[in-house]
Structures are given as C-alpha cells and as structure tokens.
Structure 1
Amino acid sequence: MNDTMDDTMNADRPIPFRRLLAVEARKLADTRSGKIITVVMVGLVVASVAARGTVAGPKPQTLAATAGIALGTLLPVLAILTMTGEWAHRTALTTFALEPRRHRVLAAKSVPPLVAAVALSLLAMLVAVPVTAVVAQAGGGPADWDIQPLWLLGWTGVNVLMAAQGLALGTLLLNAPAAIVISLSTPVLWAVVGRLGSAGAALAEWLDLNTTAAPLASGGMTWGEGARLATSAVFWIVLPMAAGVVRVLRKEVT
C-alpha cells in the first residue's frame, strides 16, 4: 500500500526543470542537424578569425568581431531547429505527454541556443588571442591587446539577440524551412526597404534588428539608439515569441 502511494506521489511530481534542460541541451549534439550546424559554426569561427588575422593585423578585438558574420547567420538557424524539431520529427506528442506543462518545455528549449551564443562568442575571443600572438610574431610588430570589456559584452549580447530572434521565429511558425528563409532573407529585405525613401529608411532605422543592434556591438550606445534597439527587439523577439507560446499552448498535437 505504501509503495503504491509513493509511486502515485512520484508520478504527480513535476519533472525537474534541470532534467528538461539537460535533455534539450543534449539534443543540440544528438540530432544530426544540430550537430552539423554546431560543428560548422565552430569551424567558421576559427577559420574567420584566422583568415582575418592575415589581413587585419594583430588585434584580438578586430579578429574576434569577424566571427560575428557566421554567428549572426547560423545562430538563428540553430535556434529555429531547436524550436521546430519536435514538430518536424513528430515527437511533440511524446514530449508533451511526459511533460504536459508546455511552457516548461519551451523554456528549456530556449536556454541552450542562448548559452551557445555566449559560448561561441567567448570561443571567438579565445581563438583570437593565439592568432594575434602568431600574427604579431610573424609580422615582427607589436600586438594591440586593448580589449574593451563593454565591447565584448555588447558584441556577445548581439549574438544572444540573434539567437533569440531565431527562437521567436521558430516558436511562431513551427516550420523550420519557412522560419529559416525569413531569417536569412530579412537583412536583404531591410536593405531594400532602407532605400525606399525617407519612410523606408525610418522603418529600417527602428525595426531592423541588425541595424539597431550595431551600436550595442560597438560598445557604446546612446539612449536614442537603445530605444531603437528595444523597439526592434519587441517587434522581432517579444511579440513573435508571445504569439508563438500562445500557439504552442493551444495547438492540438497528433
């Protein structure tokens, strides 16, 4: 009788969030798509930093910033695949049967891509240090080791925002191809909009996340620039994520 009661009480206990987090983090390495994108991003970070060192000189801050091109493109893709994987592989029914509180699953899915953004940003800086030393030694000139903490913090924050944008698009659409196309084509579309007169330039100035995040990556931001960044973050991250969460919570899983 006591064993039966204990089993019932254990069944009623929620799955610890750390266990959900561990499962979702493991999927980044276990799934083929997540593994490929992670390996590609690490490779591109190392290659871009090393390649820039041959032309930009021994300055680690400049070399590490080069990795932002690859991270800004692929981090949203990784985040999108994280959010849409359950629906693409038709495992959502199993996942939500084990943990009916879907908001906890969504929260657990959101953390690994954001942590990956921070880790890859730090990796870029770690790679830039030995590359700077090698370039300085080969060139016979002094290295510029001036690394601004505010720049590093802001640049890492931009990468986190890019990953968050991917999470929002993936949660809203629940369709990886559509979300990836939107993510990759958005910079091109905003470049076109920005050239459509003063109205288009104003829209891009306030709603293009890549444009509004640039001052954050530079390590210095005014109040006006912060307001534009907040506006674009609400437009591309907060609103899509909120609508996506409502959709997932109400969506029928078959």
Structure 2
Amino acid sequence: MTNTGIPATKRNTDDTAADDVKTIGSKPADIHRPRTPIPFQRLLAVETRKLFDTRSSKIMTVILITLVLASIIGRGVVSGPELHTLVGTAGIGFGTLLPVLGILTVTSEWSHRTALTTFALEPRRWRVLAAKCLPPLITAVAASLSAILVAVPVTAVVAGVQDVPATWEVAPLALLGWTGTNVLVVAMGLAMGMLLLNAPAAIVICLSTPMLWSVVGRLGTAGEVLTEWFDLNTTAVPLMDGDMTSGDVARLVVSMIFWIVIPMGIGAVRVIRKEVN
C-alpha cells in the first residue's frame, strides 16, 4: 500500500474545494459566481409575447379588432363620412376591452400559478412589473393609430357610396388627446389588476365605474363636484377634445392620482412582498 504522506483530513478538504470549481472546456468556472442578470429587453419581449399568445388574450384581441371595425363601418353608414366621428367611435371598443387586456396582463401569473417560475427566473419583481406594464400601454397607442388608419379609407368609401362630400377636418391635439385617453384607460386597468390580483373583480370595477359615477353625479351639488374631480372618464373629456384649461389639467391629475397612481403604487408593493406558493 502506497502512503502519500498527506493526512486524510487534508485530502478531504482539497477534494471539497476542488468540487466547488468545475471545468468547462479549458476554463474553470466558479459555480458560486453570481449569474448574469436577465436583460430587460428579453423580459419585455417575453411579456409582450405573453400578452398575445394566451387563449384569453387571443380571444380579446379578435373581439377588439372585430368590434372596432364593425363600429367604425356601422357609424360611417349611419352618420356619414366624418373622419372625426368615425375615429371617436373606435373609443367605444377601446374603453371597454383595452383595460381588460391590461388587467389580464398583471393577473394571469397568479391565476395560472406561473408567478413562482417567473419570479424564480427574475427575483427582482419590479423589473418584471415594468416589463408587464409597457406592452399594454404601447398596444393602446398602436391600437389608436390603427383605428385612425381604418377610419380614413372607411370615410372615403362611405363618401363615394353615398355620393356626399367627406369631412376630413380633425384637430391634431384632439387625436393626441384621444390616444392619451386610451393609454390612461389601460393604465387604470393595470392599476386595478395589480391592486386586486384578481381578474374578475378588477374587470367588474373598471366596467361598472362609469355607470356608478353617473349615479353619483345626480346626487346634487356634492355628487357633481366629486364626479368632476374623481371620475376619470369625465376629467378626460377635455383631453379628448384637445382643449384643456388649467382647471381641466388639475382635475385630470387628481383623478389620475386617485385611479392610477395610488392603486398602482399599493399594488406594486403588494406584488413585490406577496408570498408565492
């Protein structure tokens, strides 16, 4: 038997230390070295794909496109070739379905129980939340531009079929305000979804809010004041018209803080601290 002259304890320590370093090709790699963080662009691409490749999102997208096309064409046949009117008609579908798309974006991880995998791959949850919020907001802008592109040929076709002159006058500020309103509607859906982490409850709140505020507005002077300052649908009307005063800006900011900033802030804290099981 050969005696190496190295104590058993020393050999065991060296073997343990050697196990901590593995060789990949010809370069040693420390398995305890912190892994490279996931690039934000990759997170954004993944969350964008999630926004459209789930069954519920596909159904919502098809319904949204169909509703917008049908509303623009139907309004053109009934009201005539007025570009401003046809573009605004698309807001009916946007105001109903775009916030739902935002809600599903932030609640699907919890309803499908995939949050554990997502946050295990990226423990910094605030980065995941940022990547989730950007695609719906960008989608709102893209949907608004698409509605404008659809309304232009529909206006021309209706004018030709009905043999009447088309009305093309559209205020650029009104188009920007209308697009901004669609973005605010999606942001409200994101905020409610993050706050409640429950898709049905958030959808009910977002869709029933206009009806509830219409009731509040009929409760006398106090109800009218509350509606003027806290109803996002009411405060966004001057923004859509492209004619805002300083008072209109103040009321819009107050309603945004009430419906978007506060719920989203509380919801973000809740998501970051929530136990995942």
TM more than 0.5: yes
Task: Please name the residue that 2:151 is paired with.
Answer: 128
Task: Please name the residue that 1:137 is paired with.
Answer: 160
**Partners of 1:59 and 1:37 in 2: how far apart?**
28
Residue 24 (structure 1) aligned to one of 47, 53, 74: 47
Task: Please name the residue that 1:106 is paired with.
Answer: 129
Residue 241 (structure 1) aligned to one of 253, 264, 269: 264
Task: Please name the residue that 2:12 is paired with.
Answer: none
1:12 Cα deviation from its structure 2 partner = 2.1
Partner deviation per Cα, 1:14-71 (whole Å, 9 max, x = no partner):
1111110111110122111111111111111111100000122112121011010110
Kindly provide the amino acid, as one letter, of the partner of residue 190 in structure 1: W
Deviates more, 1:144-153 or 1:18-27: 144-153
**Partners of 2:237 and 2:28 in 1: how far apart?**
60
Residue 164 (structure 1) aligned to one of 176, 187, 190: 187
| Structure 2 residue 88 is the aligned partner of structure 1 residue 65 | yes
| Structure 2 residue 74 is the aligned partner of structure 1 residue 47 | no
The ranges of structure 1 where at least 4 consecutive aligned residues each deviate by more than 3 angstroms after the TM superposition are none
1:147 Cα deviation from its structure 2 partner = 2.1
1:8 Cα deviation from its structure 2 partner = 6.1
Query: 5+ residue gaps in structure 2?
Result: 1-22
Residue 15 (structure 1) aligned to one of 38, 58, 69: 38
Q: Secondary structure at the match of 1:106?
A: helix
Task: Please name the residue that 1:4 is paired with.
Answer: 29
Task: Please name the residue that 2:19 is paired with.
Answer: none
1:171 Cα deviation from its structure 2 partner = 0.4
Question: How many residues in Structure 1 have an aligned counterpart in Structure 2?
Answer: 252
Kindly provide the amino acid, as one letter, of the partner of residue 29 in structure 2: T
1:220 Cα deviation from its structure 2 partner = 1.0
Q: Which has the higher helix share?
A: 1
Task: Please name the residue that 1:251 is paired with.
Answer: 274
**Partners of 1:222 and 1:230 in 2: how far apart?**
12
**Partners of 1:253 and 1:217 in 2: how far apart?**
41
Q: Secondary structure at the match of 1:12?
A: coil
Deviates more, 1:133-142 or 1:86-95: 133-142
Task: Please name the residue that 1:117 is paired with.
Answer: 140
| Structure 2 residue 70 is the aligned partner of structure 1 residue 34 | no
Task: Please name the residue that 2:243 is paired with.
Answer: 220
Q: Structure 2 length normalisation: TM-score?
A: 0.89
RMSD (CA atoms): 1.2
1:3 Cα deviation from its structure 2 partner = 4.6
Task: Please name the residue that 2:210 is paired with.
Answer: 187
Name the CA shift for 1:153/1:4 in 2 (closer, same or farther; >3 Å).
Answer: same
Percentage identity across aligned positions? 66
**Relative contact order (C-alpha < 8 Å, sep 6+): which is higher?**
1
Kindly provide the amino acid, as one letter, of the partner of residue 217 in structure 2: G
**Partners of 2:250 and 2:230 in 1: how far apart?**
11
| Structure 2 residue 254 is the aligned partner of structure 1 residue 231 | yes
Query: 5+ residue gaps in structure 1?
Result: none
Q: Secondary structure at the match of 1:141?
A: coil
Q: Is the 8 A contact 1:61 1:125 kept in 2?
A: no
**Partners of 2:102 and 2:144 in 1: how far apart?**
16
**Partners of 1:163 and 1:3 in 2: how far apart?**
49
**Partners of 1:134 and 1:152 in 2: how far apart?**
21
**Partners of 1:34 and 1:117 in 2: how far apart?**
14
**Partners of 1:151 and 1:128 in 2: how far apart?**
15
Kindly provide the amino acid, as one letter, of the partner of residue 97 in structure 1: A
Q: Secondary structure at the match of 2:165?
A: coil
**Partners of 1:3 and 1:53 in 2: how far apart?**
69
Q: Secondary structure at the match of 2:226?
A: helix
